[in-house]
A and B are shown apart, each in its own frame.
Chain A
Amino acid sequence: MTIIIRILQILVENLNYLVLFYFLALNLFYLITTIFAFFALRVYARRLKAINVEELITTAGAPPITLLAPAYNEEATCVESVRALLALNYPEYEIIVINDGSADNTMSRLTEAFDLQPAARVPMAEIPSATIKGLYRSQHQPNLWAIDKANGGKADALNAGLKFCRTPLFCAMDADSILERDALIRIVRPFLEDARTIAAGGIIRIVNDCTIKAGTLMEIRLPRNIWAKFQVLEYLRAFLSGRMGWSALDATLIISGAFGMFKRPAVVEVGGYATDTVGEDMELVVRLHRRFREQRIPYKISFVPDPVAWTECPESTKILGRQRDRWQRGLFEVLTRHRIMFLNPRYGRIGLLAYPYFYLLEMLGPAIEMPGYVAFLVALIMGTVSVPFIIAFFMAAFIFGVALSVFSVALEELTFRRYPRTIDLLKLFMLAVVENFGYRQLTIYWRMHGFISALRKVQGWGKMERKGFKTETST
């Protein structure tokens, strides 16, 4: 019995050290990307002030764009979203909404709102997708098309849209997201300034409780729901500190499926989106990196911090848990599929820096962190850890996290200041502290669940419920 307790003690002790090391490594990476993001954002904000982006692009050869908006059971938000897309400020663009076999009234809502009628159109690329039941064109908005197809998942819907895309660039987005009016003008800039650019991602922000009128965001405020509030902070940290930092390091591995711009020929050449993963957005970016690196073709994939897509986030733990489970499964599927890139110098800083980070700290992270909390509690109860260790663990696990979240809020305030109410800023600071004591552990639990689901090869997206946008007329 004593031997068993001793073995348990050794195991717990070593797990505690591992977890402490994990927290330090993870937070150090966050700190490094935050520092890089800070300098990159400073330069970017100065550039924005220096030039009139709109004037520069509208008068000078802006490439035509196709917006691909897959919709699955989006009856609550699809009409408002498409209205917002039609109001975008860009010289030449086309919208293709892809109804991915919705079980609700998505297609009929769209047909009714935009007078969609059957129209002929041939595919321009050979990319497989589920059966296409019909193609429709709006009778009063000639740049609006809709594809009605059998359900095949988001990637399959994007592939269906990509087949019919004729423009040199396409923008993949969610039909339940609202793009800001000048989002396309802003996201297209990297493609103009560097012809090697094959993909660029924009920032995703949370729209819950913001007010929308005629597809345009009228009032920006923090959501009232506590889970949505936490997600605002998470998104700020993920995009402003994370993606901006990785982009500054020229190692962008993720472009959010909710808003990303791609060169059509590059994506067609790699075969479009992978339909056998729930992480199709990341998978495409990793595959593009892989293909271009293997063929030694110069390319660039970047993140642009000011084109914004506003999206509705889950407000219940049930739906949020499903979403995080899915994200973790997606991450697992993508990183295990392309593991040849792991620490492989052939793939440059993607293989040597970004991939190992995502593999060891993001993919395996929950499997270390979750048991780590348990081990720490056990060690505390057994009295086998020293006071310095307890304090160091607390500092590394919680206080370091608080610091990083505050840095993200500071980055937001130093650059874009999208939350005009001072009370919202104060709340964000408060959330930066509070989220480390409960919410973070909860997300780790969901991610751990996702990790196990991925090991068990669980498939599917899980149901996502929408409450719809808050429009000015409804307030």
Chain B
Amino acid sequence: MISTIRELIGADTVFDLTLTVLIVVIAVLLVITIILGLAVLLLRYKNYLTARRLNRLEDQWSALIFTAIDSGTGELPAQTIKRNRQRLFLQYLMRYARRLQGEEFAIIRQLAQPYLPILLERSWHENPEDRARSLQIIGRFGFQDYSDYLVDALDDQSPMIVMIAAAALAGTKYPQYINPILAAIAHFEQWNVSYLAALLARFGPEGAESLRRTLIDATAPLHIRIAGAAALATIRDLSAGDLALDLLLKTADPELQAAALRLLQTVGRQTHLAGIRQFATAPEFMVRANACAALGRIGTDTDIDYLRRGLDDPSNWVAFHAAHGLLNLGDRTTLQNVAESAHARSELARQILAEN
């Protein structure tokens, strides 16, 4: 082909031959482009037909679901959903169930039961995204019967699958799953700690014991201990106060110190104040800021002096928490004096007073 084109356009040097090759390559690209353009148009038409078919199916399914909810049975006539549509049906139920709770949700779950096995048949042979989708449905509708699959998924190579399995198991609030989850997410040191903490907190007070163990376990990864502390704070586990103080006094890691102080803000008691006060002058501003926040939250009149000194701190964050703390402890006078003076934090004091 190249020689024909070369002859046609009169290419007679090596350079011209190179140009000819270039022309052929771009021409091939053009042909691919035309084919791609046509394929895209066909795809648009196919998508249109698929959407129309799906809309029709969903209308039918919607009517079936209404009937099932109205009758309160949660049963569909046998073979109502053809085998090749069962997966779509489950995905539809999943979307439908997002808006439901209580008895209505129980009916939807019952409707899904006969079709869940199809997800197991196929889920382990498909790409991680499809498997993740299946796991979500299993977690939502079939937890009781398929919990082993979810626990196995915690060992999956795909982080997305592990997270979805962890979220599904955490949603059950059964404490036996918290340890496998803690072990699984130990490898996820790059994930956002607040996200992991929220996941762990979903177990509620039932998961507190495991979280407390993790908090004091010096061999556990740092991000898990920090997430554990945040989760304990979320569930307001009062028993964690002593452990948090112990951790605060023993660890040299500023991130862990800050995490322990944040936990103490929520679950600390007056017996912890002496320990916390030591950190109001820590070298790292985030530790000082969290110490001031803790003193402001659970402190006594003795701590007002610490917080007043916090107002002079070079860090805006420390001063901010100190000012809030003074207000919490009822020392409006100091804030008013600062607000009316030429103090560097006068504007901050005015803001805190105005906000409250």
Contact = CB atoms under 8 A, between A and B. Distances in A.
Whether A and B are associated in the same complex: the answer reads yes
Given A386-B11, A429-B37, A61 B164 contact: no
Interface in A105-131: 119-125
A49 interface: yes
Given A60-B195, A386-B16, A388-B11, A122 B43 contact: no
B199 interface: yes
A403 B33 contact: yes
B133 interface: yes
Contacts of A413: 40, 43-44
A392 B192 contact: no
B26 A399 contact: yes
B33 A60 contact: no
Interface string A385-426: 011110110011001101100110110011001000010011
B133 A409 contact: no
Interface string B11-53: 1000010011011001101101100110111011001000000
A196 interface: yes
Nearest to A409: B40
A50 B192 contact: no
Contacts of B196: 61
Nearest to B11: A388
A395 B11 contact: no
A55 B167 CA distance: 11
Nearest to B6: A388
Contacts of A59: 167, 198, 202
B47 A417 contact: yes
Contact of B351 (A50, A121, A399): A121
Nearest to A57: B195
A473 interface: no
A414 B195 CA distance: 31
Contacts of B47: 417
B347 interface: yes
A46 interface: yes
Nearest to A64: B194
Interface in B327-356: 345, 347-348, 350-351, 354-355
B160 A50 contact: yes
Contacts of B197: 61
Contacts of B30: 395, 399, 402-403
Interface stretch (A186-194, A275-283, A301-309): A186-194
A46 B130 contact: yes
B198 A392 contact: no
Classify chain B: how many residues form its interface, as a range. 35 or more
B87 to A, nearest CB: 12
Contacts of A319: none
A117 to B, nearest CB: 11
Contacts of A195: 189-193, 223
B129 A50 contact: yes
Nearest to A387: B9
Contacts of B22: 24, 392, 395-396
B92 interface: no
A392 B17 CA distance: 11
B10 interface: yes
Contacts of B160: 47, 50-51
A93 B240 CA distance: 30
Nearest to B193: A195
Contacts of A402: 30, 33
Contacts of A119: 351, 354
Contacts of A406: 33, 36-37
A295 interface: no
A119 B356 CA distance: 12
A120 B195 contact: no
A2 interface: no
Nearest to A191: B192
A60 B167 contact: yes
Contacts of B191: 192-195
B127 A122 contact: no
Which of B6, B195, B348 has the most chain A CB within a 10 Å cutoff?
A: B195
B147 interface: no
B281 to A, nearest CB: 21
B190 A410 contact: no
Given A49-B129, A51-B132, A120-B347, A425 B317 contact: no
Interface string B244-268: 0000000000000000000000000
B192 A388 contact: no
B29 A403 contact: yes
A474 interface: no
A56 interface: yes
A46 B19 contact: no
A193 B190 contact: yes
A352 B33 CA distance: 30
Interface of A: 24, 43, 46-47, 49-52, 55-56, 59-63, 119-125, 191-196, 386-389, 391-392, 395-396, 399-400, 402-403, 406-407, 409-410, 413-414, 417, 422, 425-426, 429
Smallest CB-CB A-B distances: 7 pairs: A61-B198, A61-B194, A120-B351, A46-B129, A50-B129, A60-B198, A395-B26
Interface of B: 6, 9-11, 16, 19-20, 22-23, 26-27, 29-30, 32-33, 36-37, 39-41, 43-44, 47, 98, 127-130, 132-133, 136, 159-160, 164, 167, 189-199, 202, 223, 316-317, 320, 345, 347-348, 350-351, 354-355
25 contacts: A24-B22, A47-B129, A47-B132, A47-B160, A51-B133, A51-B160, A52-B98, A52-B136, A61-B197, A122-B348, A122-B351, A124-B317, A124-B320, A192-B195, A193-B191, A386-B10, A387-B9, A387-B10, A388-B19, A392-B26, A396-B26, A399-B30, A402-B30, A406-B33, A429-B37
